[in-house]
Amino acid sequence: MVNHYLLLIRLKEDLGISGLALEWFRSCLAKRGQRVSIDGSLSERFSPECGVPQGSCLGPLLFLIYVPKLFRVVEDQLPHVHCNAHDTKIYLSFKPISNTSQEDAIRAMKFCIEKIRRWLIHDRLPLDDDKTEFIIIGTRQQLNKLQAMNIKVGGAEIKSSHQVKNLGSWLDRNVNMRHHITDVFPLGTIPELSAESCMEIVSSEEGKVVSGIYWLNLRELGITQVYCDFTHTRHGWNLIARFSNTDTVHWMLDTGHWWYDRKEAFGKTTNPSGNTDMISPLFWLLNGSDFKITRSDDSKHIALLQTTSNCLGGQTFRSKVTNYGDFRNDKVWHMGQCLGTCKVQYSGPYQITDGFGKATCSGDMQAADEVGFWCGWGWSGAVIMIGGAQGACGGCEHGIGITTAKQASFSSNGRPEDDFGDSPWGWDARSYSLNLWIR
């Protein structure tokens, strides 16, 4: 708040205003009374000793006359200062090539802040130490080179912020406007952060548990909703499909329609606890290295199985399962082999999962810690084969997209086919679904 006495001195000494003109300013500022009305109740009349009339033409002008000394205070310390009616911003640039460069920048900033603080106290302007914010802006690679920084303002220890507000706009440390977009859009439209990947969310949250629904800004599709799972790992997983035996007909169609031909989403990538079929746009669009499978009734999303050694090789999941050829050729089902395989590792829950539990075949794919793609043995086949075949197990006894049809089709031909299960001939799970994630 501008002090009337000090402002009149500046008008006289800095601008040479005197006599009747100075008295006019004194009358405008000091010889005024005001009252406050709340719900019809009127306060006693009082004369303010500081501040300028709000909404008046003179207000901004008098404020500019009062504060220019601030620029002289900092001009020998920092080259850049921006002032607004409610805040002051000081900033400098440095290269994160060494600890010395970082320490020099912080030292200069601290010294400048202390000078400003002394000037504000002298000129009777209020300073809320604990409302001070500071932000370090740079690329992710540059920021990773820096050590943690704090700045002390008076008695308050100020930590670096991830984003700060500047004249109605949010400025974030990577200048990607993500937080600003989230703030501007209604919560019902964009409920969470918009990012280019789940990994970007992990970096921005510094390892916090932030599992939930987010929006990825994909170049090919625009802003797309996904479920990012960070419960057990700092490496982001994206939910791209859900397999359930409750509505198989919706996507396990003749000719492998969903796997091969279709290029749009079915269902929504929302909460992974659902028990309905779903294929997200990310099934076709998001590149990755590995995939994992979890149960929909497992809130911790622990992998039943997870591929290792870059199974997807930077492809989308659809590319992985369709790059072996046209599956409308019935040879895919009775070649006595899988068209592709990947190494996998299993976890404890997999062994006891009804309808998708550990196969009992000796010498099968499971024993070799492998998962197969488009496998055909005898009268059964599987898009993703987990166990069976070889030895005493003469079929695809265990997998996702299993069928007894000896052709490139998911039609039953009088026999059942399932999204997943232990066997095309036996019981299949219907109380939960399997979630497919990639990263």
Higher pLDDT, 44 or 428: 44
Higher pLDDT, 98 or 425: 98
Per the CB < 8 A criterion, the answer to whether 271 and 263 are in contact is no
Least confident range of 30-44, 183-197, 308-322, 351-365: 183-197
**Cα separation, 312 vs 282, whole angstroms:** 14
Give the end-to-end CA distance of the chain in Å, rounded to a whole number: 54
**Cα separation, 377 vs 361, whole angstroms:** 14
Using alpha carbons only, give the angle 291, 294, 298 rounded to the nearest 5 degrees.
150
pLDDT at 311: 94
- Of these ranges, 12-21, 96-105, 349-358, 412-421, the one predicted with the greatest mean pLDDT is 12-21
**Cα separation, 125 vs 298, whole angstroms:** 57
Per the CB < 8 A criterion, the answer to whether 403 and 424 are in contact is yes
- The SS3 call for residue 435 is strand
Phi–psi pair at 107, nearest 5 degrees: -65, -45
Report which DSSP code applies to 163. E
**Cα separation, 290 vs 313, whole angstroms:** 8
DSSP 105-131: HHHHHHHHHHHHHHHHHHTT----GGG
Higher pLDDT, 310 or 166: 310
Q: Assign residue 251 a region (left: φ > 0; alpha: ψ between -120 and 50; beta: otherwise).
A: alpha
pLDDT at 380: 73
**Cα separation, 408 vs 405, whole angstroms:** 8
User: Of 299, 318, 321, 307, which Cα lies nearest the Cα of 432?
Assistant: 299
Per the CB < 8 A criterion, the answer to whether 146 and 119 are in contact is no
pLDDT digit string (tens) for 239-275? 888 888 776 555 555 555 556 666 566 666 667 888 8
Least confident range of 173-182, 198-207, 414-423, 424-433: 414-423
Using alpha carbons only, give the angle 96, 101, 106 rounded to the nearest 5 degrees.
100
pLDDT digit string (tens) for 120-170? 888 888 777 888 888 888 887 787 778 777 788 887 888 777 788 877 788
Strand bridging mode 150-153 / 156-159: antiparallel
Strand bridging mode 291-295 / 163-166: unpaired
What is the band of 306 on the pLDDT scale with cuts at 50, 70, 90?
very high
Per the CB < 8 A criterion, the answer to whether 160 and 133 are in contact is no
Per the CB < 8 A criterion, the answer to whether 52 and 29 are in contact is yes
Handedness of CA 412, 414, 420, 423 (dihedral sign): negative
Residue 425 has pLDDT above 60, yes or no: no
Strand bridging mode 194-195 / 212-218: parallel
Average pLDDT rounded to a whole number, residues 361-375: 75
pLDDT digit string (tens) for 215-237? 777 665 566 777 888 766 666 78
Taking residue 68's Cβ as centre, other Cβ atoms within 10 Å add up to: 12
Distances 81 to 57, 85, 92, 113, 123 between C-alpha atoms, Å: 25, 13, 9, 12, 18
- Beta-bridge mates of residue 382: 375, 402
Residue 377, class by beta-carbon neighbours within 10 Å (0-12 exposed, 13-18 middle, 19+ buried)?
buried
What is the band of 312 on the pLDDT scale with cuts at 50, 70, 90?
very high
- The SS3 call for residue 337 is strand
User: Of 431, 354, 349, which Cα lies nearest the Cα of 398?
Assistant: 354
pLDDT digit string (tens) for 277-291? 888 878 878 888 999
Handedness of CA 409, 414, 415, 417 (dihedral sign): positive
Taking residue 252's Cβ as centre, other Cβ atoms within 10 Å add up to: 25
Residue 296 has pLDDT above 80, yes or no: yes
Average pLDDT, the chain: 75
**Cα separation, 174 vs 204, whole angstroms:** 9
Domains within the chain, CATH numbers bracketed: 191-321 (3.90.215), 325-432 (no CATH)
Average pLDDT rounded to a whole number, residues 85-107: 78
pLDDT at 282: 81
Residue 419, class by beta-carbon neighbours within 10 Å (0-12 exposed, 13-18 middle, 19+ buried)?
buried
pLDDT at 190: 44
